[in-house]
Structure 1
Amino acid sequence: MSIVPAAPTAVVRAVADALSATLVLHRRGALELRRPIELVRTARDATTLGPVVTTLAHATRGASTATALIDDRGPITFEQLDQASNRLANGLAAQGVTPGTVIAAQCRDHRGFVLSLLAAGKLGARIVLLDTAMSGPPLTSVLARERVGILLVDAEFADRFDDLRPGLPIVLTRAGDTNRRGLPTVHGIAAWRSALPLPPPEDPGGIVVLTSGTTGTPKGAPRGKVSPLQSAQFLDRIPLPKASTIVLAAPLFHGTGLSQLILGWALGNTMVVLPDRFDPHRTLDAVARHRASALVLVPAMLQRIVDLGAQELARYDTAALSVIFSAGSVLSPELSRRTALLFGEVLYNLYASTEVAVAAVATPRDLREAPGTVGRPPVGCRVALYDEHRRRITTPHVVGTVFVASGLSFTGYTDGSGAEVVDGMQSSGDLGHFDDDGRLFVHGRLADGHRS
C-alpha cells in the first residue's frame, strides 16, 4: 500500500520549495523582488496564457526593444514578436480557431513555429508538437487521438498529410520555395490583421509534448498551467546567462528545446534558432558569430561536434561559451570527458523525461568526480528508488525503479492513461542507483527487460 505524506508535511514542503525557488530565481536574475507588481502580473498571466506567452509578456515588459529571436530571417525584438503573434492569433481566429480547437504543428525551428506557439497560447487553443520525423500510421493515430482540427506545418511536410486526414485545413509555417500548392501561410494570414491582443482565454489551451514512441505510437503529455517558480528547477544547478545569447540546437518540438526557449526569455536572452537539419559546423558558426554564452543540444548533437576534433573546432571562436546544456538522452562518461578537454568544464547534463520533466542535474564537477552520473535533484524536485514490491530503497548502490516528484510532472497522458505513482511520485520508467554522495546513476529502461 502506498504511503501518502501527511498533509502538514506536504504543505510545509510546498512552502519551503516555493521560498527556495524564489531565492534561486532572484539569485539568477529571473525574478526582481523589488518589482512586486510584475510578479503578480506574471503569476496572473500563467493562469490563463500558459508558459510561452507568459514568459514573452514578462520579457516584453522588461525590455521590449531587446532582440528575442534570431533565425534565418534575421532578428526580431520581444515587442515585434508579441505584435506579430497578436496578428497571427487574430488571423487564426478569423479562420475559425477557438479555445476548443486542437492545433498540430510539425515544424523545424524558426519564427513561424514560435509564432504558432504564441498564437495558440493567446487563443487558448491546445497545440500538439509533432516530431519532424513522424509520418505514416503513427502520425495518423496521433491526429485522431488528439482530435486535431487544423495543421500548422512547414511546406516540406505538407504532403505527408494528404491521405491521413483529407480535408483537414493546412497552414504553412514556413513556405520557402516549396509551396507549390498555394497553401495559406502564417505570415499571409497575419498580414494586415490587428496587432491588438485578443481577450485572454479563461484557461490555458496547453501544449502537448509527445513521448519518443519507442514502444508504439507516441503518447501525449499535456502541459497547461505551470508556476513561474518551476523555472528554478533548471536554474538551481545550471548558471544560464542573463541578457546574453543562447544558441538553441535542440528542436523546439522536444521538451529540451521548448523549456530552454521559455527559460532563456525569462532571463532576457536572445535565442538563436537554426531552421535546417542539425549540422555541427553551422551550429558552431552560430555560437561564434553571436558570441553565445550557452549552447543547448542533445547528446547525439554534442557527439557530432566533439567528433570534429580539436583542429577543426579551433576554427570557431567558442570562448564566450560558459554553459553547454545537454539533455534528452544518455550522456556517456567518455563524451563528457572529451567535452571537458575541448571546451573546459562547461557541460551541464539534465536528466528528465516527458512525463516527470526535471529529475536531476549533473554539474561539471559531478561529471568529473562521478563519470556517468546524472547528478542530484534540483530545488523543488524529489527522487527516490523503489524495489519491485515498491518498498523504498535507502541503501547506496542498490538498483531500483526511479520515481520523481516535480511541479512540472504531468497529470496523465491525453489518452487517459498515466504513469505509475508511489508516495506521490511518478515512475520515470528507468532503473537506477544512488552512490555514497547521493548522486543518481541511471541504468536503463524497465521496458528493456530489466527489473529491480
Structure 2
Amino acid sequence: MVSLGDLRESVSDVVGLVRVLRDHGLVELSRPQHVVLAAKRGERLGPIAALTVNGGEKFADDPCVTDEHGTITYGDLDRQSNALANTLLGMGLARGSVIAVIARDHRGLLITMAAAGKAGLRLVMMNTGFGITQFAEVAEREKVGAILYDEEFGELAAALPTHLPRILTWLDGQAPQGIPTLDEIAETGDPTAPAEPDSAAGMVILTSGTTGLPKGARRGAMSPFASVLLLDRIPFPRKGTSMIASPLFHATGFATCGVNLALGNRIVLRRRFDAEQTVAALSAERVEMLVAVPTMLHRMVALGPDVLGKYDLSALKVIVIAGSALSPALSEAIQDTFGDVLYNLYGSTEVAIASIAQPAELRAAPGTVGRAPISSRLRLYDADDKRITATNVRGRLFVKNGVPFEGYTDGRNKAIIDGYMSTGDMGRFDTDGLLFIEGRDDDMIVSGGENVYPLEVENLLAEHPAVDDVAVIGVPDDEFGTRLRAFVVRADHAEPTPEDIKAHVKTHLARYKVPRDVVFVDDLPRNPTGKLVRRQLPTGPL
C-alpha cells in the first residue's frame, strides 16, 4: 500500500520533472500529443534510439557527432543506424537477442547503440580495458549472439565462437575478408526505419569491475527522470557543443550523451585521451561542456600555464567530472586552472545519479559531491540498519530515485532498506547538508582496534606537493591485524622519502592513521573510468 508520504513525494517529483523539462525546452505543454509520442517511442526503442529518431526529425541538418573522421548530422545518425539495424536483423538475429559492442568513443559506437534499440536487440556495452578471458566470460554470461568491434579489438572478438556474426565498427587498415564494416553498411544498407519493436530490449552497462568480473546492470525503457537528474543541477548547453572524454560504455558518458542528444548539441568524441590534444580540441571546437574523469583533469591541470596558455578556452562553461573520487586538492586545482565551472557528479551504474556538487559548493567545501537533484533522495544507515540523521556522522549511503535499477543480469541485486538502495559507499552530511563520500563500506580496516578509512589518508596525501598520485590500502599485520600501506607516485622533480610521507600524515591525522609502509611506484592501476583497481596492488611482504 502506498503511504501518504510516498504519494506526496511522487506528486512533487512529477511536478518538478515537468518544470525542469519545460525550462530546457524538452517539453511543450501546449503540444501534449508530442509528449505522449516521445514517451511511447522511448518505451519501445530505449533512450539512444528514441533520441536518434527525435533528432532526425527535429535537427536533421544540424551537426551531431565530430570524431577523427569528421562530422555527421542528426539525420546521418538516424539513417545510418537504420541501415545497421536492418543489417543486424538480416543476419538472422531475432528481436530480443543479445549483441555486444567493444569500441572506442566515435560515431560507430553511437550508431550501434541506436541501431540496437531500433532492431529490438539487447546491447551489452563491453569495457575497452578487458583482457581476452574477461571479455569471453562476460560474453558467455550475457549470451551474446553477435559482436561489433573496432579493429584493434580483433583478438578479443576472435575468442568468441566463430559462428557469431561480426561487424567492424572502426577500421584503421584493411578489413578481414568476409567481415562487413560499419562504413560499408552506412553507405549501402537500407536506410528506411525498421518496424518498431513492441518494447525496448534494453541495454546492459557493466559495473567497473574493480573487484572481479564486472556485473551487468540492466537498463530498459527510457525514463524522463534520467535526464532531469542531470539537468536539475548542471547547465547543459542547447544546440551548442559538448565534448565527452569519459568512455561512453560507462554510465556517466552514456547518460550525458543522451542529454546532449536531446538538446541538439554537437558531441565531440576522441578514441583516446591525451591531455594536450584534449585541450587543443576544446579550443578548436569551441567546446562549452567537457565530461571527463578525475584522472583526465589531473593530467590536464599538470600541463601547466605555459601549455594551457596557448589555447583559447573562453567557450568552456561547464566541466562535469565523475567516475572516481575527486580529492579536495584536485577539486581546487581544477577550478583555479579553468575557473569556477566544475560540477562533481556522484552516482553508480546501479543507482544512477545520486548527487551533484556545483562550483560554489566545491569552493566552499572542496571534494564534496553536493546535494541530491530532484527526485533523488539520500539516506545514511548504521551497521544495524538504523537511519542516521545527525550531521558529520559517517554511515552507509543509500539512494532512491526515479531511475529504477532492474537488477544484475546474473539475478543478484543490491541491498535495499525502506526502498533505498545501497551504493556500497560510506558518507556523511556536513552542517550545510553537503554530502561527502568517505570510501567504500568494505574498505574500512581495523588497525590495533581503531577504525581507519584509507580514503581519508589518500585525500590528505594528494595535497602534498611532492605527490602526483596516491593509493592507500590495508594489508595484513601480525601485530595490529591490519596496517596501512601507501603507494605513491612522485611529482615531477620531487624526491620525497617514506619518512616525509609519514610525517605529513602524522602532522594532520591521528598516529594510528600513519601508513606503516610507503611504496613509491611509477603509476597506479586504474580502469578506463579512472577508478583505482585496488586488487592489483600488492598486499604481501615487501
Asked if TM exceeds 0.5, the reply is yes
User: Does the aligned pair in 1 maintain the 2:91–2:165 contact within 8 Å?
Assistant: no
Tell me which structure has the larger Cα radius of gyration.
2
User: Does the aligned pair in 2 maintain the 1:88–1:187 contact within 8 Å?
Assistant: no
The secondary structure found in structure 2 opposite 1:447 is coil
Q: Residues 164-313 of structure 1: matches in 2 within 5 Å?
A: 164-177=160-173, 179-180=175-176, 183-275=179-271, 277-313=272-308
Q: Residues 21-36 of structure 1: matches in 2 within 5 Å?
A: 21-36=17-32
> Which 5+ residue runs of structure 2 have no aligned equivalent?
446-450, 454-542
Q: Residues 341-356 of structure 1: matches in 2 within 5 Å?
A: 341-356=336-351
Per mean C-alpha deviation after superposition, the further-off stretch among 331-340 and 51-60 is: 51-60
How high is the TM-score relative to the length of structure 2?
0.80
- Per the TM alignment, residue 182 of structure 1 is displaced from its structure 2 partner at its CA by 5.2
The secondary structure found in structure 2 opposite 1:448 is coil
Equivalent residue for 1:377, pick from 363, 372, 375: 372
Match of 2:458 in 1: none
User: Does the aligned pair in 2 maintain the 1:153–1:174 contact within 8 Å?
Assistant: yes
Matched, 1:53 2:37: no
The secondary structure found in structure 1 opposite 2:346 is strand
Measured in 2, the distance between the counterparts of 1:129 and 1:182 equals: 24
Match of 2:93 in 1: 97
Measured in 1, the distance between the counterparts of 2:149 and 2:164 equals: 12
Percent of aligned pairs with the same residue? 43
Amino acid at match of 1:141: E
User: Does the aligned pair in 2 maintain the 1:221–1:355 contact within 8 Å?
Assistant: yes
> Which 5+ residue runs of structure 1 have no aligned equivalent?
none
- Per the TM alignment, residue 364 of structure 1 is displaced from its structure 2 partner at its CA by 0.5
Equivalent residue for 2:321, pick from 309, 323, 326: 326
User: Does the aligned pair in 2 maintain the 1:92–1:189 contact within 8 Å?
Assistant: no
User: Does the aligned pair in 1 maintain the 2:225–2:375 contact within 8 Å?
Assistant: no
Match of 2:529 in 1: none
How high is the TM-score relative to the length of structure 1?
0.95
Superposed CA offset, 1:217-259 (max 9, x none) = 0000011012224311101111111110001111111111111
Measured in 2, the distance between the counterparts of 1:170 and 1:53 equals: 21
Match of 2:429 in 1: 434
Measured in 1, the distance between the counterparts of 2:342 and 2:117 equals: 33
Measured in 1, the distance between the counterparts of 2:368 and 2:243 equals: 25
Measured in 1, the distance between the counterparts of 2:147 and 2:287 equals: 33
Superposed CA offset, 1:259-279 (max 9, x none) = 11100011111111112x211
How many residue pairs were aligned?
447
- Per the TM alignment, residue 62 of structure 1 is displaced from its structure 2 partner at its CA by 2.2
Measured in 2, the distance between the counterparts of 1:31 and 1:287 equals: 30
User: Does the aligned pair in 2 maintain the 1:230–1:380 contact within 8 Å?
Assistant: no
Match of 1:8 in 2: 4
Superposed CA offset, 1:380-419 (max 9, x none) = 1001000011100000011110000122241210000000
Q: Residues 19-168 of structure 1: matches in 2 within 5 Å?
A: 19-168=15-164
Match of 1:413 in 2: 408
- Per the TM alignment, residue 99 of structure 1 is displaced from its structure 2 partner at its CA by 1.4
Amino acid at match of 1:279: D
The secondary structure found in structure 1 opposite 2:61 is coil
Per mean C-alpha deviation after superposition, the further-off stretch among 262-271 and 171-180 is: 171-180
User: Does the aligned pair in 1 maintain the 2:203–2:218 contact within 8 Å?
Assistant: yes
User: Does the aligned pair in 2 maintain the 1:21–1:230 contact within 8 Å?
Assistant: no
Superposed CA offset, 1:66-116 (max 9, x none) = 111111121111112101111111111111122121111100011111111
Measured in 1, the distance between the counterparts of 2:155 and 2:210 equals: 25
Measured in 1, the distance between the counterparts of 2:24 and 2:199 equals: 29
- Per the TM alignment, residue 180 of structure 1 is displaced from its structure 2 partner at its CA by 4.3
Q: CA RMSD in A?
A: 1.6
Measured in 2, the distance between the counterparts of 1:360 and 1:396 equals: 17
The secondary structure found in structure 1 opposite 2:371 is coil
The secondary structure found in structure 1 opposite 2:41 is helix
Amino acid at match of 1:319: S
Match of 2:497 in 1: none
